[in-house]
Structure 1
Amino acid sequence: MFSSNGEGTGWNKNEWRTFQKNYIENIKDGEIVNLDCSHYVHDIEYKKIADETQRFIENLN
């Protein structure tokens, strides 16, 4: 899961990331990648998302 810094969500950074953390804890093999950008992460951090997704897939057993 890729999580923004909360900008544009109406929540502050800590609240927003806590929501994401609580959610991902219930997902088997789930990971969270915190990004320092606004809510539309796919428009801003697309390169990091691609790289991290590739890494994640390569590490699946």
Structure 2
Amino acid sequence: MPPTRQCRALCELLFQSAPRYVMAEDLQEEARPANMSSSVAIVYNTLNLFTGGGLLRRLAASGFRSF
């Protein structure tokens, strides 16, 4: 199945700069000004796909989930 437009856009946001910690809600906010509107569910699904594929790691700190 080919990646969706939102998935490709989120990939660009995630990997265009140096490695960093990111939360799904923050990534959704970053996508908004770039006209990459995505629901939080799409962002979580995309992050989970990247985690499953070994591109990201999930971290838990103070009750928050970060990738």
Q: What TM-score, normalized to structure 2?
A: 0.36
Q: Which protein has greater RCO, CA pairs closer than 8 Å, 6+ apart?
A: 1
In the superposition, the TM-score normalised over structure 1's length comes to 0.39
Larger Cα-atom Rg? 1
